[in-house]
Amino acid sequence: MSSQIEALLRTAPDWRRVDASSPVLHAWLKHVDKAVREVDPSEARVVQIHLQFFRGDIVTHGEEICECLRRVKRKRRV
C-alpha cells in the first residue's frame, strides 16, 4: 500500500493550475480517498473533510490532501 501512496504523491496535480472539472483530477481524488481509507481511518476522515470543501479552495485543500498522504506514508514506515 505504501507504493500506492507514493504513486499518488508523485502524480499529485499542480494545485494552482489544475482544472477543477478535470476527470483526471476526480479519478486521482477517488484513488486517494480509497487508498487512505484502506490504511488509516483517522486520516481518511481528514481527507473526507478536505474533499467536502475542495471546490471552495482547491489550492489549500489539495495541499492538505497531499499532506495527509505524506502522514500516512510516514505512519506506514514506523
Q: Where are the domains of the chain?
A: 2-12+21-77
Question: pTM of this prediction?
Answer: 0.91
SS3 content of the chain, % helix, strand, coil (to 5): 80, 0, 20
Q: How far apart are CA 42 and CA 64, in angstroms?
A: 14
CB 44 within 8 A of CB 36: yes
pLDDT tens for the chain, residues 1 to 78:
578 999 999 999 999 999 999 999 999 999 999 999 999 999 999 999 999 999 999 999 999 999 999 999 998 775
